[in-house]
Structures are given as C-alpha cells and as structure tokens.
C-alpha cells in the first residue's frame, strides 16, 4: 500500500522520547501479509525491490495505526448526550434504565453491531469495553467482534448493591456467569476477557472476593473498572470501606491492581494512590470528553508522566460525547491547556495508538507498523472538509498537520479502517483485502 504514514516506533518514558521515536514517511510502502505487517519502507527504497504485484495506491491520505479506545461502555451508545447530571445521578436517571434492556439477546445483538460499526467508522480498531450485568450483553458483543476479527477486550458488569434490583446479582451468580464467559471467550481469536466490577460502591466485599478469586484462576484476564472520577463518589467509597486507606486501596486490598488492570478517570487521586498505581504497574484510561461533560474534573496528564503510570485514551461512551479519537484528542488538549500543560500532537497520537496498546499490555501486538504487528490501521483524509484542506495546506510540518487533524478532524476525516489486514469500513462501502 502506497501512501503517507505516521507512527511511533517504540514506547517511551517521557514526551520528548516519544518525538524521538516518531516516524513520518511522506511517501512510503506498507507491506502486509496474512494480516500482519511485513515492512514499512520509504517508497523510493521499496520500489526498486518490488515484485510484480498490484499496489493499492492511497496517495493523498495519511495512514496511522488503528486507534485504541481504553475505556468505553457499549450499552451506553443509545444514551449519549443525556442532559444535566453529574456522575451518581446520571447513573441513576439514565444509565441503569438503559442497561436494563440488555437482558434481551436480540437487543444486545443489534446494539453490538451498531456499536462496532461506530468504532470502525471512527477509525477505532481495538477497545476495552464494558457490557452490562447480563451475560447476554457480552455474548452478543464477542460474537459481533469475532465476525469483524477485531482485537477487543470486554466483560460483563459485576454488581451486587446500590443499583436497581433488576440489575443486581449475587456474588455467586456473578462468579459463575463470569467464569463461564471467560472459558468460552478469553483468548479466542483476537478476543480477551476483562473482569469488570462496575466500581467500588456497587461491589460488596463478598463480590470483590469473587473478582479476586477469578483473577487468581485466570491471571491473564484484565481488570477494568472506575477510580476516583467524582468527589462525591470518592467520599462515598470512604464511607463504604472505612478499613481501607482510600479508593484505590479497596481494589489493591482485593489484589485487583497490576499490569493488566486499567482504571478509568483517576481525577481525584491522593499522593499514595499515584504511588500505588506506579508500583503495581497499573494503567489509567484518560477520558476527556466524559470528564468535561459530567463536570467530574481535569485529569493531570503531566502527573502521569512524572509518576511513570501507563496511560491510554478512552472515549467513555456514553458520558463521553464522541466515538471519534481525533475529537477526543482535541478535548484532551483543552484539558491540558486549563492546567498549563501543552499536549503536543506527537504525544496525543502516541496515547491513542502505541501508548494505548501499552496501557492494555498489547504493545507487542498492535500500536505501530513494526514488522510482525497485527495490521490494524486507519486512513485519514486530511482534506475532508474545506477548513481542514485550508489548514492542512498551510501547515509547516507534520506536527502542525497532526495538530490540525486532532483539533479540526471528526468522522469525516476517516476514509478507511483496516482490521487484521482487511478493510473493515470505507465511506463508499466497497471491500478490499490484503
């Protein structure tokens, strides 16, 4: 495939190191075979060694690794843009009523396909996803993701208190249903399972014991939950778990921190909690549109670098207001500006690609165009709108061009999305494989 390419070749410990690992080829050739990256080379170097094979010509596009969404709720797709609440009342008035519909396999199947199509049309090829408390919700999502050959990690919500009765389960039911889902889906194709306690307030100590038991039985599963999103939530956790030192210590006490643990939000962390995240190699999902929409607070991106805590970007649909990673990065920039931190475009694209892969412990498989990686990528049309075309044309270098994409881009900027070496979505609907 002939086009322009941008990626980050290796993970980094600080923003300056990211820029040193950045690779931009104004004209390159990407070779893909059996769904894997074979090579990415400058066109002039590759042209001389080309066999007599057809080349897909996408000059005029910019191809980047597929975007990785590190925190998203697929059942909340149908309630995006719910007005007027902060976290706890938003859950009660909008989220829980919506999620009650997912006991229906038919509804879950229809929304799973709609959800995945929204990811693909926005250039997202991998995601860490919340289902609902119903096993049917995760069955449907995994079935749909398997059809698309997507690398997807998901789990059913585990929740036994402080929610409507029809969304509650016993710890034993949660253990039994989750265990069955793990055995059926975890490690099947490109799918992975995440143990998904909604958050500490909806988890009794008995339930958290069951989550811990499952993680000991299946140590290569992920942990996916929420942490310190809202000040009222933090205070509530302290009342519910007075024996623990703080919010994160609830999870840590039940051995739920670690290299495959991803905590969404982390806006109101105490000093000790930052240290615990770093010492346990846990990861954070930064969700700027959700944090702004619910008025939850501003994430301290600079602190995550200082503490060396792995980090990815989450859209957090449906408190988040867009599936589009370009728009999400634009909001992340504004969050940084409000704290006197200038999020460089190179760093932003790192968080949405290789950095996100590292946050999910998948950077050996996805996130850039290194040989052997899975061939997930997205073609960006830099001139999708007249304003983008104007700014792209007068941008001085690749950094300014990337910044224009993340501040002016949206779903119209996504021309094609490729998953596992096959085109999964294109604006004109045609198909083409590598």
Q: Which two tokens stand for residue 253?
A: 């006490």
pLDDT tens across 164-215, in order? 999 999 999 999 999 999 999 999 999 999 999 999 999 999 999 999 999 9
pLDDT tens across 60-74, in order? 999 999 999 999 999
* pLDDT for position 111: 98
* pLDDT for position 49: 74
* pLDDT for position 429: 63
Instruction: Give the chain's mean pLDDT.
Output: 96
Q: Which two tokens stand for residue 205?
A: 């100590």
Distance CA 361, CA 310 (A): 10
* pLDDT for position 204: 98
Helices (H), 218-298: 231-240, 247-253, 271-280, 288-293
CA nearest to 414, candidates 129, 63, 10: 63
Pairing of strands 2-8, 22-33: antiparallel
Distances from the Cα of 415 to the Cα of 62, 95, 120, 411, 427, angstroms: 10, 32, 10, 9, 6
Pairing of strands 422-426, 414-419: antiparallel
* pLDDT for position 143: 98
Q: What is the DSSP string of 187-212?
A: TSTTEEEEEEE--GGG--HHHHHHHH
Q: Which two tokens stand for residue 356?
A: 């996100």
* Residue 346 CB-density burial (10 A; 0-12 exposed, 13-18 middle, 19+ buried): buried
Cβ contact 320:81 at 8 Å = no
Beta bridge partners of 32: 37
pLDDT tens across 37-55, in order? 999 999 988 887 776 677 9
Give the residues of the chain that fall short of pLDDT 50. Answer: 431, 433
Instruction: Report the SS3 class of residue 61.
Output: strand
* pLDDT for position 269: 98
The sign of the CA dihedral 407, 411, 416, 418 is positive
DSSP label at 315?
-
pLDDT tens across 268-301, in order? 999 999 999 999 999 999 999 999 999 999 999 9
* pLDDT for position 430: 54
Q: What are the chain's domains? A: 2-65+370-426 (2.30.40.10), 67-323 (3.20.20.140)
Contacts of 232 (CB under 8 A, 6+ apart): 86, 87, 88
């Amino acid at each position: 495939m002939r086009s322009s390419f941008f990626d980050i070749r290796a993970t980094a410990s600080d923003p300056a190191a990211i820029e040193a690992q950045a690779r931009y080829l104004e004209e390159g050739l990407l070779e893909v075979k059996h769904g894997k990256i074979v090579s990415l080379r400058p066109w002039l170097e590759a042209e001389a060694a080309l066999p007599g094979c057809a080349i897909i010509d996408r000059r005029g596009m910019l191809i980047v690794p597929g975007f990785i969404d590190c925190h998203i709720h697929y059942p909340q797709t149908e309630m995006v843009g719910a007005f007027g609440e902060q976290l706890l009342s938003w859950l009660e008035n909008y989220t829980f009523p919506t999620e009650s519909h997912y006991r229906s396999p038919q509804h879950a199947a229809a929304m799973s396909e709609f959800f995945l199509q929204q990811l693909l049309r926005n250039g997202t090829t991998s995601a860490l996803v919340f289902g609902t408390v119903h096993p049917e919700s995760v069955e449907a999502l995994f079935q749909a993701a398997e059809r698309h050959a997507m690398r997807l990690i998901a789990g059913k919500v585990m929740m036994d208190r402080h929610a409507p009765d029809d969304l509650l389960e016993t710890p034993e039911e949660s253990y039994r249903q989750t265990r069955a889902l793990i055995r059926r889906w975890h490690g099947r194709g490109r799918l992975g399972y995440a143990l998904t306690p909604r958050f500490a307030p909806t988890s009794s100590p008995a339930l958290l014991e069951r989550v811990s038991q499952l993680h000991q039985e299946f140590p290569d599963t992920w942990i996916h939950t929420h942490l310190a999103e809202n000040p009222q939530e933090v205070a509530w956790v302290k009342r519910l778990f007075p024996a623990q030192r703080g919010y994160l210590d609830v999870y840590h006490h039940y051995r739920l921190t670690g290299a495959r643990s991803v905590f969404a939000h982390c806006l109101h962390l105490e000093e000790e909690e930052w240290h615990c995240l770093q010492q346990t190699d846990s990861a954070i999902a930064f969700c700027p549109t959700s944090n702004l929409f619910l008025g939850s607070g501003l994430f301290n991106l600079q602190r995550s670098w200082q503490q060396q805590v792995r980090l990815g970007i989450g859209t957090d649909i449906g408190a988040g207001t867009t599936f589009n990673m370009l728009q999400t990065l634009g909001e992340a920039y504004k969050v940084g500006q409000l704290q006197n931190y200038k999020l460089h475009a190179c760093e932003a694209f790192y968080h949405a690609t290789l950095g996100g892969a590292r946050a999910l412990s998948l950077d050996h498989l996805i996130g850039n165009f290194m040989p052997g990686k899975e061939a997930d990528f997205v073609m960006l049309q830099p001139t999708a709108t007249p304003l983008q075309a104007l700014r792209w044309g007068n941008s001085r270098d690749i950094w300014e061009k990337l910044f224009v994409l993340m501040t002016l881009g949206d779903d119209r900027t996504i021309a094609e999305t490729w998953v596992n070496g096959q085109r999964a979505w294109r604006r004109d609907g045609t198909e083409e494989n590598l």
